[in-house]
Structures are given as structure tokens and as C-alpha cells.
Structure 1
Amino acid sequence: MLDSYGGNIYTFGSYRLGVHGRGADIDTLCVVPNHIRRDPDFFGTLVDMLAKRPEVTQLTPVIEAFVPEIQMVFEGIHTDLAMAALNMSAIPATLDLSDNKLLRDLDPESIRSINGRRVTDRILTLVPDVKVFRLALYAIKLWAKRRGIYNNAMGFLGGVSWAMLVARVCQFYPKGCVATIVLKFMMVMSNWKWPTPVLLLNVETENFGSFTVWDPRFNPGDRRALMPIITPAFPSQNSTHNVSASTLKVMRNEFDRGCVIAMQIDEGKATWSDLFDKSDFFSRHRHFLQIDAISPTEDKFHKWIGLVEGRGMRYLVMGLERILGVEIACPWPKGYERDFPKLSAMAEKGTATAEVAEASQADIAELEKPEKEKYCNSYFIGIELDSTAKGPFDFYSVVHNVQERLAQQQGEDPDGKLEFTHVKRSNLPEWLFEMGESRPIKKPKRKVDQAERMKKKRKVAAANAGTIKPAENGAVSSGVVSDTPSIAADQPSSAAEGVAEAATAEGTDDVKGVAKGEDKRTEKQDELEGHEDEEPISPAGPPIQTTRKVEQEKNELTYKDSQIKLPQTTSVPKKSEIKLRLN
């Protein structure tokens, strides 16, 4: 029966292009006849069969993805398997997928799946020199990964999009060697006028079927694309629909940096290693949102992080961008798998005792579970604020909206939960940095001389009481020493006399009355100078259901439904300080 119906497996993506590296996924396509259904055959029977195979691990069906697929590790190799059911009763072994007529009467999921192979094959036919193209693409992919801009799901570019950009540069310079293509790539992309689309050939049209082809003249969604890179196979589509305003800005900055270094390399003033330096993401941003994706079992963990990476991170970035004053919300495209961090994170912050004391019995039981029963991936979003922005910023609505949207997609039996934490640059965890990398440190406080501080305090006190007139020839005015400005004699007032007497009697103590509050403010501002890294960010949203006294004693905010726990700073904020509210 298998011989009569047939069925083929095709590779596509980086593996098909010949630019895959160690640890890379292999994208595969299963082409089957029309009597095979996606559900229950592909995501039901086939998944059950694969689960029984000892060489298959981390089996995860991703049904709701833009291209539905089965993710798994087959004999230690990460493999993504998509499916396309053609309108044929049998699949010949020598089937050529480049024929557009094969797409007739296919469902959208099958068209997107089969186009993965069709686009890859089409790219290889459109470049003037395949060998030069492959080597240049390998270099550009390495550069993009080192600079933190390689991940389609999180709003950057995926492998196929990078391949089309390199292929376009190869078309511009058909006789160029690998080094020329890499250098010209940086220059061309730095000067590209986005959203001008990147096209390897004119968009094809067919007179059969109701296919949606990329055309911004008629499709409003195509006009909203920020960085359109159009696939060369029919039906042509935009491959970068996940790119956001923040990720586009970050990529343009990287293109500009690459262009500068490329010109320096061409002039002999820089080396290739300068181009491939690792990104300074964790020292470039001042504020970070840490997202911990936690699951109780390994099977649920892989499903949960697939949903978080595929949709949750994109939801967060788009929500953060809508907040007035947020200039960039840039995700780091890599997740960090580690042990369940709740107790260790609280211990680092010195708040474990207070949190455990306030936790319910259920919370304590949860904390006492062995760490081996918990699985966690941590993600980071770097946040840059407008220079004129003034806090506080209410991020609660964004966090809560993401929680609800992901909960709706999980059903009654959730695979995991999310915990959000604001992290300052100087408080980033050690495990983010590789050996030899420098971790950002907190700037030291600027020491203010006590005599200078008291001199300023007396001046402020006198200014609030009346007109200031300098003392002459070291004379004492109203009992104040000569280095302190005195109240003018021609404007006597009881307030001035009271302030002068208080300054004389108390010496280095605070003056009383109206000036006291001003003195306190000035001293605090002096202490806060030089604290660029320590601008407090605090969560906002619904009022906390605790008394003011408890809030001050515990010095934390807790929103149990969203699993958010965030320490609140007690420093006196300046006008320019930023408060990020998560609950």
C-alpha cells in the first residue's frame, strides 16, 4: 500500500542551501497524497508513532504556528517536520515541486509548508555563483547571530530572509568574491531605504486559484510592512511580518555599524574580527525586563517555551512599544535554560525571608519542591526610554494582556507560567556573561564635602527667608559666621532673625521652618548625583491590597495572579528618574 500511494521527504531552509552549522535545525517537508489529513493523521497518528521511537526525544507538535510542524530531536539532531497534502491520489518519487499547478486547491497551511522548499530552490537558481553565495551567507549568518539579530520568531530575520538579502547583493555584484559580497552587503543594507521591498525577481501572477500574492496596492496588511523581503516563488509573500519598529531600528543600527567597519576593513584600518565582535546588548541598555518561562515537567516545558518564543515575546515587544516614552523594546534572541530560579533570585536580592514569611502555605509548599521538578527558560528585553520621558510607566496592562492571551491558547491544563522581573543593568545575573566578559557595575556615589553641603544649606535657608546680602570684612551678621550670607539690614523681618538664630544655635543641624524641607531635598539630590544606573523602576496597575504600613515594611509589590514579584526602591526619585510598573 505504501508503494502505491507514495510520499516524499524534502529538506529546505539552511540545510538545503548548504549553510547549516553545528547544532542547527534541519527543516523537512513531508509531502503526502490528498487522503492524508493534518488532524488526526499527521498530528495524531504520526505523533503517537514517533513518541514510541527511542531515538526521538523532545517531541513537540506546534499546531497553531504560522507553518504547523512537529518539532523533535531525532538521534540528537533538532528536526522540524512540516506537512503538505497535495491534490493527488499518489505521490511519485521524482515529483518536482517547482510546478505552480501543484498548488491548486491546497489549504493555506499546505501552501506555506510547500513553499519552504520552493523558495529555497528558487534562490539557488537566481544567484550568479552558488559557491560565493553560500560562503557569503554563512559569514552573514554568523555575524547576525553574534550581533543578536537572528531570530524570526522574536522579530528579527530568519535564515531564509538573510539568504534573500545576500542573494540580492550577489545580483548587484555578480563577479564579486566572498569578501567583496560581505563588505558590499553592509554598505547596501546600511543605505537601503526601508520599507522599499527587496525583490529577487518580479512578483509572479497566475490566472488560477484565489491565491493571496504580496501586493501593497491592494492589500492593506502589505502596506504596513516595515521591512518587506519578498519570497521569489509563487505565491510571493513577505517573509518578515514579525519585524517590529524596535527590532527594525536595532537592525538598522547594526547595518550602520557594519558599514563603518566594512569601510575601515577596506582601508586597512580594521580587521574582520572587529566586524564579528559579540553584541554589547547587556551593557547597552539601562533597563531590562526578565521573563522566566517555568514548567513543572519536561514535556510541558518544551511546549511552553515554544509558545513563549513563538508568540509571547512578540506580544510583549509590540505592547511595550505602544507605551508613550518607550523608544525601543529589544528582545535578546536567545533564551537561557536553567534551574528554577525563584529561591535563588530572592536570595540574591536579600528578600527571601520577607517573601517566604508573607507567602501562603501553598506558596511555601511550591517553593520547597525539588528544583529538578522545575524547568525554566529566561529571556530578556532591553528597554530604552525617550530622553524626555518622565515616569511612572504603566506596564501592568501589557504584562496582564500577554498572560491572558497565552492562557487562552493553552486551554484548561496550562503548560507553564511566566514571571516578570525588572532588572537594572548593574544587577544582571552572572550567568549571562561568558568567561572574560566584563559585567556592568554600579557607579560609585559622588562624595560631597560636609562643609560644602552645609554652606549650601545655609544659603538656601537664607534665600527662603529674605534677600541675601554678603557679609563684609569678615563681620558677623545676625549671629551668622562670615562665610555665610546674611539677611540684608534694610529688610528686617522676624523670619530672617529666626532663621539666622537657628543657624547659629544648631551649627551643622538642619534649620527649621520653611527651609528645612528644601534642605532635605537638596541633600538628597546631592547624594543621588552620579546614579545613572540606579533610576528606579516600579510596577503600576491596580491598587495593592495591603496597608501602607505593610507595604513600607515589606518594601515589595506582589501580584499573585500574574506571578509577578518586584522589589521597590526606597530612594528619593529625581524628576528625570523612570518608574517601570509591572503590577
Structure 2
Amino acid sequence: MLVSRFFRVYTQWRWPNPVMMCPIEMGELGFSVWDPRKNPKDRSHRMPIITPAYHCMNSSYKVSLGTLQVMTEQFQCGNRICEVRAYFEIELGKAEWSALFEHYPFFEAYENYLQVDIVAADADDLLTWKGWVESRFRQLTLKIEQDTNGLLQCHPYPNKYIDPSKPCPNSAFFWGLSRKEVGTSKECQQFDFQGTVKNFRRGIDNYRVRREGRDIYFSYVCRRHLPSFVFPDGYKWHRPSRHFNEQSGKPCEDVKMCQSCSSERQLKRKKEHEIKEVRPDKSVKQAFISSEVPQPVSPGMTTEDPTNNSEVMSSGGHLVSEKGESE
């Protein structure tokens, strides 16, 4: 009952209305309190969840437009799962909740990704360097969405990976990139956030101690060229599809599971891709983040022929080719 109500409430919640357990207390100690009427920064918060103790602050200030969209979709997915489980419990006398704990197929949910590689001379140095860079990831996500007028949404993945092909200690992070559809327009659009990456790198370089061997690399990767180390056992896995009887509004008994949000998104993308193949529009230029790009390119690059561009940009501001030669 409690879990079902949780998903039902947050599915219907109208953000950015704040979630509060009690009224906000101003207090007499002079500390800053979350108040969008007085603080301009508080007005930009997408998903305010206010702490109940003085001084009241927004515990979810890091939420961006893209991450809010992801959580909203997952709330809806959880609500559908709970509704299906309620049907099984009432009609059949049994219910299964394992669908709520299924792994989210992040590397199958998007067509395009931003990869950030952090390297250092040794493991101890990487720990310090990575901690500093990670603390700035929120700014990178917000700036990318801001500089693209909210049309390019970012979903940062919290897990980090190790690239075994690199000789030095490293950590790799990924952002899922999705283009927001405006109305019914299918027009492709290029996104150039090279300036955003440069500004982020400039802020990273303000770190007090910049030792030799510390560096950071940005690269664009389409889904079919994701590195094997991000998948279990080094190979790409495909999530089995789920079925749902839309006419009766009840799940198929042979599957006994609610269709997941990821399956819906994959089906939608598949249909859109088939439509584009049947009716190609030659007048539309290829988007910067297009699944047709066969090789990784720097996220700041905007070229007419991205297939010939396999460079990444280091924190020193130089383009580094696949051979490792600096240009």
C-alpha cells in the first residue's frame, strides 16, 4: 500500500511545487532559508524537496531538466507496475514485485552518449583528481542543457568504469544524450557545445594543484560503438521485451509482467527509425548527435562529415587523434 501510494502521488505531482513535511521556519539565527520569493537561484530549482529541520534547504538542487524527465518516467513506470500487481493480488491472489528492482538498461535507452575519461599518474592521484572533477559534473550537465536552450537533455550515469586498454589509472563516466522534440517537428538540429566543454575545462584547471599526468578527455559515442567494458561480461545484452494487452488493460498471463518504460522508449525509437528509412528527407542535414555517426567524435565538433573525425580533446586544449599524436 505504501509503495503504491508513493508512486501514485509522485506520478501526479506538479513540479516544481515543493515537497514539504512541515511549513518553512525562518528562524532568528540569520541562516539562508530556501525561499524562491527572495532568492533568485531557488526559482530555477526543478524538483524542490525541502528538508524539515532549520534551516530549510532544497535537498534535490542538483536535479536538471533531463534528470527530472528520467525520474518522472520512472515514477510513471513504477505506478503502472503497482497497478498491475494490485490486479494480480486481487484477481489471482498472488503478486510479484521483482519488476520494481529490475536493472535500468542505461546503455540501451539512448542513441548517443558523452564519454568523459579521467586519467592520472597513479591510483592515489586519480582518487584526488577524480573527486574534484566529479564535484563539477553537475555544472557540466546544467550548462549543456542551458547552452542548447533545453533542447538537448542529459542523463548522467552515476556508475564509473575502468578502461582496461589505457596503461594509466583511469575512470570513465557517461551521459545519455537525447534531443527534446518540439511539437511535431522532426527537423534535425546540430548542437555545438564546444564552448561549454571549454568553460568546464577552464573551471577544472582552477584546481589548486595540477600535477603532471592528470588529464580529462571528452568524446562523443553512438550506441553501437560503446566500449565493451560498460556491458556485463564484456558484451552487449538485450533486454527481453514485455507484452501488455492494451484492449483489456490487463497483462498477458503468460508473461505476468508490466511492460517497462525502457521497452516503450525502444519501441517508439524503432518505429521512428523505420519511418525515416521509408521516407528519407535529403534536405535535412545530419544532426550533431546522430545515430548514423560510425566513429566517436569530440562533443564540441560540428562537421559536415563526422565519419572522418575521430579526435578527442584533452584538457590542454589540443586535439588528440587515435594514434595519440597531438596536432
Give TM-score, length-normalised by structure 1: 0.41
CA distance in 2, matches of 1:283, 1:554: 25
- Alpha-carbon offset, residue 559 of structure 1: 4.4
The reply to whether residue 385 of structure 1 matches residue 179 of structure 2 is yes
| Paired position in structure 1 for 2:317 | 562
The reply to whether residue 396 of structure 1 matches residue 194 of structure 2 is yes
* Distance change (3 Å), C-alpha of 1:297 and 1:566: same
Q: Give, as a single letter, the amino acid of the residue that structure 2 aligns with 1:314.
A: R
The reply to whether residue 222 of structure 1 matches residue 42 of structure 2 is yes
1:195, 1:226 within 8 Å by CA — same for their partners in 2? yes
- Alpha-carbon offset, residue 562 of structure 1: 3.4
The reply to whether residue 438 of structure 1 matches residue 233 of structure 2 is no
- Deviation digits for residues 6-62 of structure 1 (CA, Å, limit 9, x no counterpart): xxxxxxxxxxxxxxxxxxxxxxxxxxxxxxxxxxxxxxxxxxxxxxxxxxxxxxxxx
* Distance change (3 Å), C-alpha of 1:225 and 1:566: farther
| Paired position in structure 2 for 1:420 | 218
| Paired position in structure 2 for 1:321 | 145
- Deviation digits for residues 303-332 of structure 1 (CA, Å, limit 9, x no counterpart): 111112221x22221122121574321111
CA distance in 2, matches of 1:228, 1:534: 38
| Paired position in structure 1 for 2:122 | 297
Which moved further from structure 2: 261-270 or 229-238? 261-270
CA distance in 2, matches of 1:543, 1:197: 39
1:539, 1:566 within 8 Å by CA — same for their partners in 2? no
| Paired position in structure 2 for 1:309 | 134
Q: Given the alignment, which residue of 103, 110, 121 partners 1:278?
A: 103
1:293, 1:419 within 8 Å by CA — same for their partners in 2? yes
Q: Give, as a single letter, the amino acid of the residue that structure 2 aligns with 1:316.
A: L
* Distance change (3 Å), C-alpha of 1:304 and 1:563: farther
Q: Given the alignment, which residue of 56, 61, 66 partners 1:246?
A: 66
| Paired position in structure 2 for 1:375 | 169
What is the DSSP-based 3-state SS (H/G/I as helix, E as strand, rest coil) of the residue aligned with 1:393? coil
- Alpha-carbon offset, residue 339 of structure 1: 3.5
| Paired position in structure 2 for 1:206 | 27
**Higher helix content, 1 or 2:** 1
1:261, 1:274 within 8 Å by CA — same for their partners in 2? yes
2:121, 2:212 within 8 Å by CA — same for their partners in 1? no
CA distance in 1, matches of 2:144, 2:176: 11
- Deviation digits for residues 370-429 of structure 1 (CA, Å, limit 9, x no counterpart): x2xx11110000101144353432121121111111011244436721111211111112
CA distance in 2, matches of 1:552, 1:291: 19
Q: Give, as a single letter, the amino acid of the residue that structure 2 aligns with 1:264.
A: V
- Alpha-carbon offset, residue 300 of structure 1: 1.3
* Distance change (3 Å), C-alpha of 1:306 and 1:415: farther
CA distance in 2, matches of 1:555, 1:220: 42
CA distance in 1, matches of 2:307, 2:69: 42
Q: Given the alignment, which residue of 129, 133, 156 partners 1:331?
A: 156
Question: Which runs of no fewer than 5 residues in structure 1 stay unpaired?
Answer: 1-179, 342-370, 447-520, 545-550, 568-582
The percentage of counterpart residues that share the same residue type is 30
* Distance change (3 Å), C-alpha of 1:284 and 1:203: same
**CA root-mean-square deviation:** 3.6
What is the DSSP-based 3-state SS (H/G/I as helix, E as strand, rest coil) of the residue aligned with 1:256? helix
Question: Which runs of no fewer than 5 residues in structure 2 stay unpaired?
Answer: 90-94, 240-269, 275-279
Q: Given the alignment, which residue of 397, 406, 415 partners 2:204?
A: 406
* Distance change (3 Å), C-alpha of 1:225 and 1:559: closer
What is the DSSP-based 3-state SS (H/G/I as helix, E as strand, rest coil) of the residue aligned with 1:408? coil
* Distance change (3 Å), C-alpha of 1:213 and 1:414: farther
Q: Given the alignment, which residue of 40, 52, 56 partners 1:232?
A: 52
* Distance change (3 Å), C-alpha of 1:227 and 1:414: farther
**Higher RCO (CA-CA < 8 Å; seq separation 6+):** 2
CA distance in 2, matches of 1:337, 1:424: 19
- Deviation digits for residues 288-313 of structure 1 (CA, Å, limit 9, x no counterpart): 111111111222101111112221x2
| Paired position in structure 1 for 2:292 | 534
Give TM-score, length-normalised by structure 2: 0.70
